[in-house]
Amino acid sequence: MNVLLAVLWKDLISEWRTRDRIVSMLLFSVLVVVVFHFALPEDASQLLKTGAAGLLWIAYVFASVLGLNRAFALELENEALSGLALAPADRGWIFLGKSLANTLLLFLVQAVTAFVFALTFNVSLTAVVPQFAVVMALGALGLSSIGTLFAAVAVRTRYREVMLPLLLLPVMIPVLLGAVRASAALLERGTLPAPALRLLIVADLTFLIVSFVLFEYVLDE
Amino acid sequence: MQAGVLERAAGHFRTPSLWALLPLCAVYGLAVITAPEDAVQGVIQKILYVHPACAFAAYLGFGLTALGGALYLWREDEQYDRLALASAEVGVVFCTLVILTGPIWARGTWGRFWSWDPRLTVTLLLWFIYLAYLLLRGFTEGSARAARFAAVYGIAGVLAIPLNYFAIDLFGGRAIHPENLGRGSLGAGMGLPFALGLVTALLAFFHLLARRLELEGLRARNAFAEAETQHEPARAEGPWPT
Amino acid sequence: MTDAAIAARGLEKRFGPVAALRGIDLDVPTATTLAVLGPNGAGKSTLLRLMAGLARPTAGSLRVGNPKEDRRRTRGRVGYLGHASFLYPALTARENLLFAARLYGVIDARRRAAELLETQGLAAVADRPAGGFSRGMAQRLAIARGLSHDPSIVLLDEPYTGLDRVAADALTKQLAALHAAGRTLVLVTHELSRASELAQRAVVLARGRVVYAAQGPGLVLPSLEQAYLASVESAA
């Protein structure tokens, strides 16, 4: 448990000092939103009604991939990852610490991006802010848990940054679907559909448990 | 280095299974050709005798891949890793067949190649997971590390598949798959070729798996033997241990 | 099997077809300092990584610490200083040490970090980010990090790299003190004089094999030098 807090603290302090990931994730995410404006047709209001949630989550998924890659690239400097592997600590806690740090960062990026999105596309979120926050958090947790596991693997392969999305995208679909459906329902009707929420929670739990257990093997030689 | 128990089994299985497979294919082919044409769908419906069978093998393949990976992590015996690799390579072939035959069938019956039908979509995702698995293996330096990483991804992937299914079923595309594939939905005379298709696909899968496993085992033993024959390094002179 | 702190029998490590270590037989009794010497590429670093648990042998056996003990606890008893520093550049010296101490479950990590900073002479730069450190400072910090959990087995891979004379002397003193306190040390180094000063046993590796071993009174600088030069020549 202490190890979890130590890792979480270390990741957050590093991030605070360098603002490395948060800036690039934020910039990227907002850029994607801007690009949507140019990619969508002139009268996109109908498309936005139904597709806004999906667009947002696309931006989130790619921002998370960016952040996860950077998170482990930082661990490779000075072989810090080996330093973690040497410790007697249960690696599951190391995983949780990193995963939570990633979740927090992603959530921050999500919040700001949603705000920017609402402004530029004239979509109203004010009525559903708390529920939307819950969905974003659950989605971030799902992406960050299995993402942290895969990033630890991907970053030590020959195609580092490219490997992570290849590994992650087909597997994170349940999280994406749950999050998009929930977000869409919130935007359209202001209600949070139970099935989507259930899917998100089940996916999150599954990914958390699996990653917690498997992380043990990922730090070995 | 000894051949593992799996490889020895594969060696025994290989030839008899080939002898069984050839006539089986002939019988199967005959059954498919002579099966009655479906009144509504026409001849294209005969893909039914191939498509689900391949799907079965594809999913079995990934299941074995994940199992091999899990056993490798547990026992650290490389033969399990070889099983995982062989199963992935054979499974991806069957998965590709599913992805190819699905649209052919769909086009023939409903007029469109793709419709995001839940089952086909999940299989498509499985296909991507297979490819990611093989790419991961290919791009990781060091065989022990590659085996470990692959095992982790295999286990994560196999757990993601049912999740994917529930997710897509809940929200995904329109179902165009015939819901009930039980006895009732198959017309008279269709049961036999269908069952034969399943058996043939399974036998073909295990036959190919056995061959691939044997090959990989040979490769591993060969690399080991080669390393053994490297010549001794020169010894330096100096006083011997006191 | 002996009751040595570290024991290797027929230890072998291959990377694909390349054998980095072959047929290594070694004993490091508790509270002894072993010097491992040899030309570059001899397998010294590989040997240390195996002892630290960062890599696994491909053949033979290697026992570090008490085999009956849980593997994780043994990891907690071993301190490893490799070629890479394991430091986080964004964190200050103090924070790096704090993190390492917490990672190893050291009680009162703050005090330990402060202690280590003092011992390594880094108190003045304690709150500067490690990324800006000079080579010597970074090396001293890495050493402090490796010792943060007061390990009973200390593995050091070329710890003198980047240290100036003063710092090197200080390190030698520190290692001697560790030895006096009953710690087991394995020291890979090119500094033969320091090795003969500190060690009770020495081995010279060349091309993955032990080509010379000496201990006790047999461990004299001239013979070490001779053996080392012979190994370098034969490896060339």
Q: Which CATH number goes with the domain that contains C231? A: 3.40.50.300
User: Does any domain span residue C180?
Assistant: yes
Q: How many other β-carbons are positioned within 10 Å of the β-carbon of residue B12?
A: 11
CB contact under 8 A, C55 and A221: yes
Q: Among A123-127, B62-66, C22-26, C155-159, name the one with the lowest average pLDDT.
A: A123-127
| B238 band by pLDDT with thresholds 50, 70 and 90 | very low
Decide if pLDDT at A149 tops 80: yes
CB contact under 8 A, B170 and A195: yes
Which pLDDT belongs to residue B29? Answer: 80
Which pLDDT belongs to residue B188? Answer: 62
Which pLDDT belongs to residue B32? Answer: 78
Compute chain B's Rg from CA coordinates.
23
Q: For residue C27, what are the β-bridge partners?
A: C7
Which pLDDT belongs to residue A36? Answer: 85
Quick: pLDDT tens for B79-138. 999 999 999 999 999 999 999 998 888 887 778 888 788 888 999 999 999 999 999 999
Quick: pLDDT tens for C98-146. 999 999 999 999 999 999 999 888 999 999 999 999 989 999 999 999 9
**What six digits make up the tokens of C145?**
């990090």
Chain B 207-226, residues with CB within 8 Å of chain C CB atoms: 223, 226
Among B223, B238, B242, whose Cβ lies nearest the Cβ of C227?
B238
Which pLDDT belongs to residue B186? Answer: 56
Handedness of CA C129, C131, C135, C140 (dihedral sign): positive
Q: Which residues of A touch C102 (CB under 8 A)?
A: 2-3, 5-6
Chain-wide mean pLDDT for chain B? Answer: 82
| B222 band by pLDDT with thresholds 50, 70 and 90 | confident
Report the length, in residues, of chain A. Answer: 221
Quick: pLDDT tens for C215-225. 887 778 888 88
Q: Which residue of C has its CA nearest to B235?
A: C211
User: Does any domain span residue C198?
Assistant: yes
Q: Among A137-141, A142-146, B208-212, C229-233, name the one with the lowest average pLDDT.
A: C229-233
Chain B 141-180, residues with CB within 8 Å of chain C CB atoms: 142-144
- Contacts from C95-101 at CB under 8 Å and sequence distance 24+? C95/A10, C95/A13, C96/C130, C96/C141, C96/C145, C97/C141, C97/C144, C97/C145, C97/C148, C99/A6, C99/A9, C99/A10, C100/A83, C100/C145, C100/C148, C100/C149, C101/C148, C101/C149
Report the length, in residues, of chain B. Answer: 242
Decide if pLDDT at B2 tops 90: no
DSSP annotation of C2: -
A155 interfacial to chain B (CB closer than 8 Å): no
Quick: pLDDT tens for B153-191. 999 999 999 999 888 887 765 555 655 443 345 566 677
A3-17, A184-198, B168-182, C11-25 — most confident range: A3-17
Whether A78 contacts C88, CB under 8 Å: yes
Q: Which residue of C has its CA nearest to B229?
A: C17
How close B131 comes to chain C (CA, Å)? 25
Decide if pLDDT at C40 tops 80: yes
H or E stretch at B8: helix B5-34
Over residues A101-128, mean pLDDT: 89
CB contact under 8 A, B153 and A203: no
No. of H helices and E strands in chain C? 8, 9
Decide if pLDDT at C97 tops 90: yes
Q: How many other β-carbons are positioned within 10 Å of the β-carbon of residue B191?
A: 12
Which pLDDT belongs to residue B176? Answer: 57
Chain A 156-195, residues with CB within 8 Å of chain B CB atoms: 156-159, 163, 166-167, 169-171, 173-174, 177-178, 181, 195
In single-letter form, the type of residue at position B184 comes to: G
User: Does any domain span residue C95?
Assistant: yes
Which pLDDT belongs to residue C228? Answer: 84
How far is C167 from C161, CA to CA, in rounded Å? 11
Quick: pLDDT tens for C138-192. 999 999 999 999 999 999 999 998 888 998 999 999 999 999 999 999 999 988 8
How close C230 comes to chain B (CA, Å)? 6
| A140 band by pLDDT with thresholds 50, 70 and 90 | very high
Among C17, C206, C227, whose Cβ lies nearest the Cβ of B223?
C17
CB contact under 8 A, C73 and A18: no
Q: Among A170-184, B189-203, B208-222, name the one with the lowest average pLDDT.
A: B189-203
Over residues A198-213, mean pLDDT: 95
A23 interfacial to chain C (CB closer than 8 Å): no
B136 interfacial to chain A (CB closer than 8 Å): yes
Q: Among A45-49, C26-30, C91-95, name the one with the lowest average pLDDT.
A: A45-49
| B49 band by pLDDT with thresholds 50, 70 and 90 | confident
How close B151 comes to chain A (CA, Å)? 9
Chain A 74-133, residues with CB within 8 Å of chain B CB atoms: none
Touching partners of A (3+ C-beta pairs < 8 Å): B, C
Q: For residue C78, what are the β-bridge partners?
A: C153
> ipTM of the predicted structure?
0.92
Which pLDDT belongs to residue C71? Answer: 81
Whether A149 contacts A95, CB under 8 Å: yes
Which pLDDT belongs to residue B175? Answer: 58
A77 interfacial to chain C (CB closer than 8 Å): yes
Task: Note down the domain range covering C26.
Answer: 6-235
Q: Among A112-116, B223-227, C21-25, C104-108, name the one with the lowest average pLDDT.
A: B223-227
User: Does any domain span residue C1?
Assistant: no
Quick: pLDDT tens for A21-80. 999 999 999 999 888 888 887 776 777 777 888 989 999 999 999 999 999 988 998 899
How far is B120 from B106, CA to CA, in rounded Å? 11
Side-chain-side CA neighbours of residue C155 (13 Å): 25
Decide if pLDDT at B33 tops 50: yes
Looking at the 3D structure of chain C, how many domains does it have? Answer: 1
Which pLDDT belongs to residue B187? Answer: 61
Which pLDDT belongs to residue B230? Answer: 57
Classify each residue of A120-134 as buried b or exposed e, where b means 16 or more C-beta atoms within 10 Å of its C-beta.
Answer: ebebebeebeebbeb
Which pLDDT belongs to residue C219? Answer: 78
Of B20 and B130, the one with more pLDDT: B130
Among C56, C85, C104, whose Cβ lies nearest the Cβ of A78?
C85
How close C127 comes to chain A (CA, Å)? 13
